[in-house]
Amino acid sequence: SFFGLVSQGAEIDIVLDGQESRKTAELKLEDGRKERLPLYYDGETVSGKVNILVKKSGTKLEHQGIKIEFVGQIDLYFDRGNRHEFVSMVRELARPGILTQGVCYGFEFVNVEKPYESYSGANVRLRYYLRVTVVKRLSDLVKEQDICVHTLAQYPDLNSSIKMEVGIEDCLHIEFEYNKSKYHLKDVIVGKIFFLLVRIKIRHMEVQIIRRELAGSGPAALNESETLAKFEIMDGAPVRGESIPIRLFLSGYDLTPSMRDVNKKFSVKYYLNLVLVDEEERRYFKQQEITLFRRAEKRRRPIANSYIEQAIFHHRTAQFGQQQQPTTRAQQQQSQATPPLTTPEDAAAAAISPGRHGDANNSAADSPELESGSTHVSPALPAARSAPGIKDVLGEDDDDNY
């Protein structure tokens, strides 16, 4: 098991409940490598088993007690001597004694509060982990197992657009607009750049996503900026009155939610940086802060065939006024194989009014049916909308568009 750790005198193994079926998330380590860890959420129970195996048969392992801890901790890389724990829970697994063979202990931390999301940045790391300690007289046996925590957020009640006019006096005047100020991690940034005045020769323009990490406080605080993405939106010289659209998908980049003053230790902010470069390699830029959050994944329920049949039936009923129930394919084949029985009264009625025999047949003859692979639009349905203009694109973003 990759959870195993070989220690002097014993081997400690932590097995989480539902480990094989639980989702995992990728988290960057301090050395830059990425590791996949079991994923948990705030308020979720963390439980499992601890296996301790004595390495050599016939030997004894004397201990002063065995315990397991659940820890939430913030590490500042420039202050490694101090570890800041914001969550600490302990469960005693065994009292002092002697181990002569392998043992297994169960543990459970019920409804654990996990207020912050796991994070690994340039100067700070926020981690959650389980720590098993076999207390000994000289040196303890310790095993740690990290987990990843994601925090979910609801859609903000107020999500106004960003609109601003910037420029250089008598040289360049532009207006940029983004459809929202708060985006989820799988969202799409939609906007436009409008040139009001252009008197310098611009070569190209791009939009950057910048992550700014502030770790520590006071004079010792470190501010680290990292450019996560560059997206070119224009190549060539624009003219006055020209409008450049922006459409940037966030799902392809390694982003985290925005974090503000986490446990009074660090903050993580994101900015959209609009950069213009002229023919003399001079750069003009304007940064605008945005808020990122993580939303719960949607679970799409598959539509059964019966639901499709019911939808078609209700559409026909509303369009043609039919009241008969939909029939299955087996019932249709049976009705075609067996001719309908007629009575003398029916025959007489047919002779008097031959055009009215079988109302259902007339209804089917007068109205076109929906065929497999074809599309029929009812006259009562509204006409298709014309292609959306820039105002439509910059309006409220429907969640289902993505």
Residue for token pair 């009923």: 317
**Which pair of tokens denotes residue 80?**
């490694």
28 Cβ partners below 8 Å, 6+ apart? 34, 120
C-alpha closest to that of 70 among 118, 26, 109, 124: 109
Q: What residue type is assigned to position 17 of the chain?
A: D
Which residues of 243-294 form beta strands (DSSP E)?
243-249, 259-262, 266-278, 283-293
In the chain, residues under CATH classification 2.60.40.640 are: 10-149, 162-293
pTM: 0.69
What is the CATH code for 162-293? 2.60.40.640
CATH domain 10-149 topology: Immunoglobulin-like (2.60.40)
Rounded to the nearest 10°, the torsion over CA 317, 321, 324, 326 is -20
From CA 36, how far away is CA 47, in angstroms rounded? 19
Q: Measured at the alpha carbon of residue 78, what is the angle toward residues 76 and 82, in degrees to the nearest 5?
A: 55
From CA 19, how far away is CA 107, in angstroms rounded? 14
* Residue pLDDT tens, the chain, 402 long: 344 443 457 899 999 999 899 999 999 887 778 899 999 999 999 999 999 998 877 788 889 999 999 999 999 988 877 889 999 999 999 999 998 888 999 999 999 999 999 999 989 999 999 999 999 988 899 999 999 999 998 777 788 899 888 888 888 899 989 999 999 999 999 999 999 988 888 888 999 999 999 998 878 789 999 999 999 988 888 888 889 999 999 998 989 999 999 999 999 999 999 999 988 888 888 899 999 999 887 655 555 555 555 665 565 555 555 445 555 555 555 555 545 444 444 544 444 444 444 444 443 334 333 333 333 333 333 333 333 333 333 333 444 443
DSSP state letter for 401: G
131 Cβ partners below 8 Å, 6+ apart? 68, 69, 71, 142, 143, 144, 145
> Does residue 39 contact residue 23 with C-beta atoms inside 8 Å?
yes
